[in-house]
Amino acid sequence: MNDQLVISGFCTLRQHRVVHNGKLLFEDPGSNTVEFLTAAYNHFRISYPKFHKMDQLAKLGFLTTEILLKDTDINSRYKADRIGIILANSSSSLESDRNHQKTIASRDNYFPSPSVFVYTLPNVVIGEICIKNKINGEGNFFVMERFDPLFFANYLPQLFNNDIVDCSITGWTEVNGNDYESVIFLIEKKKHTDGGIANFTVSEIESVYIRK
C-alpha cells in the first residue's frame, strides 16, 4: 500500500549555523569545521564522550541527528528495526582518508592510527547514529556528485512501500576541509504524524534543502 510520506522534521548544519525546522538555534561565525562542531556540541549540552573520538563526518551527522531527533520520541513510536538511516554525500570519507594517508606516507614513520583508520568509510556515521539511538533498521550511505532530491524521492518510498521501514532519518552530510553541510530529514508516513512540515516530494525536498 502506498502511503504518502512527509518530512516531519529537518535539521541543517552549514555555514556556521544550526537550523532546526526552519528556526535558527545556534550560530558561531568565523569558526572552522572542527571549532563549529565542538561549539555546537557544547551549546546543545550533548553528553556523549565518544563524540570527541569521531571524525568530522561522523560528528556532523551525529550532531545533526541529535538535534533533529530531540523530542521526537521515534524510539517509542517505532521499533528499532523499523527505523532506517539513509544518508549521502559527495566526498565520501575523504577527510579521514587524507588523515590516514598522512600516517602511512613515510616508510620511516609508518604508524597507521587505528582510530583514524576506522573512519575511512562514510557509512561509519550511520553506525554512530545507530549506536547512540539504539536503531538497527535499514542503513545505506550513497556517494553522489551533489544533493539529489530526485534520488531521495524515488528511493525512500521503495523502502516504505516494500515494508522495510516505518520511519527514516534521511539526507545529506558532507565534509571536505572547511566546507561542511548537513541537511537531514525525518521521514514518516503522513498517517503517523500531524501532517508534517512538507510532503516528501522532489520540489518540497529541494525547497527545504535550500532554505536558509
Q: Which residues bind other proteins (CB under 8 A)?
A: 49, 52-53, 111-115, 118
- Shortest spacing between CB 24 and other proteins, in angstroms: 27
Residue 164 contacts by C-beta under 8 Å, 6 or more apart in sequence?
84, 137, 138
Place of cell 503522513: 190
* Neighbouring C-beta atoms of residue 80, cutoff 10 Å: 13
What are the CA-CA distances from residue 92 to residues 17, 137, 195 (Å)?
22, 21, 33
Assign 3-class secondary structure to 73-85: CHHHHCCHHHEEE
Question: Distance between CA 188 and CA 160 in Å, rounded?
Answer: 9
* Neighbouring C-beta atoms of residue 210, cutoff 10 Å: 10
Residue 146 contacts by C-beta under 8 Å, 6 or more apart in sequence?
90
Local structure of residue 191 (DSSP, 8 states): G
Place of cell 521503495: 158
b/e string for 104-128 if b means 16 or more Cβ within 10 A? eeeeeeeeeeeebebbbbbebbbeb
